[in-house]
Amino acid sequence: MIYHSVNHTIDVVASAEEIAEKQNLSHDDVEVVQIAAWFHDLGYTRGCEHHEKNGADMAREFLATKNYPEEKIEQVAGCIMATQMPQNPQNNLEKILCDADLMHLADRDYFKKAALLHQEIETTKLCKITEKEWLQMNQEFLDNHCFFTDYAKKNYESAVKENLKKVRDRLKSWKKSRN
């Protein structure tokens, strides 16, 4: 996994901590979000399909061996499951992890990260996605994306819109160069 790698996980953990810090969560809630962030894509080690469920199961198994409280284990698992597309978080902790997982959409290095994801999808699904198709997919995804937490909305939506504009510009340039 060249996109869903340890680097992505580290980025998600940092983003989750940033959002959680701004929401003045309790120590216990921050801990749940941090653990969920570390486990959220670990399910990819068991394959791409159902990786959220696999990651949630792996977190449950590991945390149970550490005598972690069952209620918190289920909160961790709920956060991980909320990242499944389309995202559907049911509470604040799940919203934080969902926003953190897609924070790369607002990143200055958006196109570098998108290129890694493009390559990963082609490799894991054994398919070819043309540049035009990829740009169109990115445009649609960015067009339909919205953050869930007030913090992410306030601080990152404008950067997502800027990346959307860049995607549209690249798509227009691509079309012009083919005419």
Amino acid 76: pLDDT: 98
Number of other residues whose CB lies within 10 A of the CB of residue 42: 19
Residue 152 and residue 159 in contact, taking contact as beta carbons nearer than 8 Å: no
pLDDT at 41 over 70: yes
The model's pTM is 0.94
Domain that holds residue 137: 6-177
- What CATH number does residue 84 fall under? 1.10.3210.10
Amino acid 176: pLDDT: 73
Q: Is residue 46 part of a domain?
A: yes
Domain count, the chain: 1
Amino acid 65: pLDDT: 98
pLDDT grade for 179, boundaries at 50, 70 and 90: low
Amino acid 103: pLDDT: 96
pLDDT at 175 over 80: no
Q: Give percent of the chain above pLDDT 90.
A: 86
Amino acid 111: pLDDT: 96
Amino acid 45: pLDDT: 87
Q: Is residue 1 part of a domain?
A: no
Amino acid 165: pLDDT: 97
Residue 56 and residue 102 in contact, taking contact as beta carbons nearer than 8 Å: no
Average pLDDT over residues 161-170: 96
Q: Is residue 128 part of a domain?
A: yes
Q: Is residue 57 part of a domain?
A: yes
**Per-residue pLDDT tens over the stretch 45-71:** 888 889 999 999 999 999 999 999 999
